[in-house]
Structure 1
Amino acid sequence: MRRSAPLRPAPGRTAPFLSALAATALLLTACGTEHGGANTGAAGAAESPSRTRVDDPGKDGVRVTWLTLPSPSPSPTRGYSVSADSLPEDSGIVAAYEATNKGRETLTYTAVITFMSADGGAMAHQTVTVRDVGPGRTVRSTVRAGVLPPTMPRVTGAKVLEVTKVPSREAPAAPGACPASGIRVSADRGDAAMGLRVVGLHLDNCGTRDYSVDGYPVLELLDDDLRHIDGVKILDGGGGIAPGGVDDKPAGPVTLKPGQSALATLVWRNTTQFGTAVNVPYVRVRAKAGAAPVIVTPNLDLGTTGELGVTAWRAAED
């Protein structure tokens, strides 16, 4: 989704003319912005970043509020100058955002924030997670755009592209954290090819005792409001959907020692024929019957197939 366009090099000027040009540019772009302290480069051009309020309506309680941009570089080969507080390879672009919980239970939000050029093209996407936002609370933070090629169009805006939110008690554990159960359940980003979709479920024993499973994860499909979805058949194994296309070993006991992991696979086809297509944004996963539930967000686009396959847990290869 990235768009690439060559930057227009600044015409050659002497140092006084460069300084005047930079000052004029700052005056022309000052409307609606706040500026930090000014620094001067070797050519006398101002290098202070600008902080611009963002008019982002947001999604599901998450919105971008401010965008901090470095000043344009006088170099004809770079779109941004590098300030002292940014890494040499970093663009220096920062978006401030906030998550507001208007519900009645503590929520964990995951949002994709898009950095855009003046024509609305997406220059970068960053995913952020805001954990444990209590009812009536607003949590604020920032995210950096990261590395951007110098030939890309200049970033001028940012917005929230998509949001998922789950009750914090059922949210996947933070990276490096271990739940009280000693078992961590998560989903990966998956893969898609020729209408076939595959998402991996991961079961990690981060505790201090052995943990055993025997068979298939227990799944419940949920809609945008975390309500149960009917009408989708969950098949044991993926062979009926993708014969030979997934690691579909027979179900059997798997014992995980501390530090060991197991894998299972969700598999489906995005085929749309007659009827209403079904999309499943959330899946409640239990490693086995009676285990603590974890809600993952694989965004299953099941089309009109009405089927989802899940393989049995198998020990992860080292």
Structure 2
Amino acid sequence: MRRTAPLLPALAAALLLTACGSERPGAHDAGVGAGGATPQTAVSGPAVDGVRITSVTIPSASPAASGVSAAYEVTNSGAEELTYTVIFDFTASGGGAVTHQKVTVGPVGPGRTTRGTVRAGSLPPGAPSVTGVKVAEVTAVPVAEAPAAPGVCPPSGIRVTADDGDAAMGLRVVGLTLENCGERDRTVRGYPQVTLLDEDRQPVDGVRILRGSGGIATVTGFDDAPRTLTLRPGERASAGLMWRNTTGFGTAVDIPYVRVRATPGAAPVLITPHLDLGTTGRLGVSAWRAAAQQQGAHGAGAP
């Protein structure tokens, strides 16, 4: 359901080129090339985990411009309603990614197909011309566990989301945010409860989940003791996941899905941070704390 190379380094490189966007599926939009022609090329390649590019539009006058787009379709061949996250790579003639876009599609019911269009967006000066588009990565989350969309408050009144992560010298940190989007105060204490899942969304054994950094690295605030937080409506708490992607002897472990419960008994939320744990077998989890105190990997030092 995903590329074999670790995701986060690839995302970091792509983010240097352009910000990662997100769009909902919509009607196909064909680009218009020189002379009013529509330079749309049909694509008949196989689907990647249910996602298939059906056509690519590259303006002949300026293939590096924002008019580059691809029409796609997402088919759910499973038995439950799913929300998909798809990363599309816009590639140069050599096959390397010039930029990428992340698209959220869904919910898509069992046996249903949803169609949409993804656009490259503005490219920086000097970027190579885009000559193709490919499906780089697909993750699918059951609708009941999908993170709430921006501006949407789930029935629980608590919205849990994850950021795109931060990387520094092989150290990885993904931030979790808990927002009280309801109408009454919420009390939070302790650590997020996390369960690591493989590409089939089944539990992964052999990885130690540590409270705090567990000696993985020194990051300001990551080892702070749990405190009781009372969140008024609109206030947030934050926590973090920390690991290193070191690979030594043994088989490297990649965790595409993490099931997060904000507090014991809370409804689970399934996030897709793609933990490239290497062969370290360790994941640190910080306690919930006031959002302003959350620190990323910047300034982290080796233990």
Give the shorter-chain TM-score range: 0.7 to 0.9
- The answer as to whether partners of 2:31 and 2:58 remain within 8 angstroms in 1 is no
Q: Specify every segment of 5 or more residues in structure 1 that has no aligned partner in the other structure, as ranges.
A: 3-35, 40-44, 73-78, 82-89
The Cα of 1:151 is off from its aligned counterpart by 4.2
Cross-structure match for 1:118? 93
Distance (Å, rounded) in 2 between the aligned partners of 1:269 and 1:292: 29
Contact 1:238 1:246 in 2 (8 A): no
Change (3 A) 1:38 1:182: closer
Measure the CA separation in 1 of the matches of 2:96 and 2:36. Answer: 25
Which residue of 25, 34, 44 maps to 1:55?
44
CA radius of gyration, larger in: 1
- Give the Å deviation of 1:123: 2.1
Instruction: Tell me by how many angstroms 1:279 deviates.
Output: 1.4
Q: Deviations over 1:165-218 (max 9, x none)?
A: 111110111111111111111111111112211110110111111111110001
SS for the counterpart of 2:199 is coil
How large is the Cα RMSD of the aligned pairs?
Answer: 2.2
- In the alignment, which residue of structure 2 is the partner of 1:155? 130
Partner of 1:269: 244
- Structure 2 distance, partners of 1:101, 1:288, is 31
| Contact in 1 for aligned 2:31/2:67 (Cα 8 Å) | no
Change (3 A) 1:312 1:134: same
Match for 1:233 among 208, 227, 235? Answer: 208
Q: How far apart, in 1, do the equivalents of 2:57 and 2:252 lie?
A: 41
SS of equivalent residue, structure 2 residue 292: coil
Alpha-carbon contact 1:185-1:203 (below 8 Å) kept: yes
1:127 aligned residue: 102
1:102 corresponds to which residue? 77
Amino acid at match of 1:167: P
Q: Is this contact kept in 1: 2:225–2:287, CA < 8 A?
A: yes
Q: Which one has more relative contact order, counting CA pairs under 8 Å at least 6 apart?
A: 2
| 1:243, distance to aligned residue in structure 2 (A) | 3.0
Shift of the 55–222 alpha-carbon distance from structure 1 to 2, 3 Å rule, reads same
Q: Secondary structure at the match of 1:46?
A: helix
CA distance 1:279–1:150, change in 2 (3 Å): closer
Q: Given the superposition, is the C-alpha separation of residues 245 and 279 from structure 1 closer, same or farther in structure 2, using an over 3 Å criterion?
A: farther
Q: Partners of 2:48 and 2:221 in 1: how far apart?
A: 35
User: Are the aligned partners of 2:166 and 2:173 in contact in 1 as well (CA < 8 Å)?
Assistant: yes
Letter paired with 2:256: P
Match for residue 277 of structure 2 among 298, 302, 305: 302
Q: How many residues align?
A: 266
Residue 215 (structure 1) aligns with: 190
C-alpha separation between the residues in 2 aligned to 1:150 and 1:314?
41
TM-score for the superposition, normalised by structure 1: 0.78
Quote the Cα distance in structure 2 between the aligned partners of 1:196 and 1:215.
24
Amino acid at match of 2:51: V
| Residue in structure 1 matched with residue 231 of structure 2 by the alignment | 256
C-alpha separation between the residues in 1 aligned to 2:239 and 2:108?
A: 30
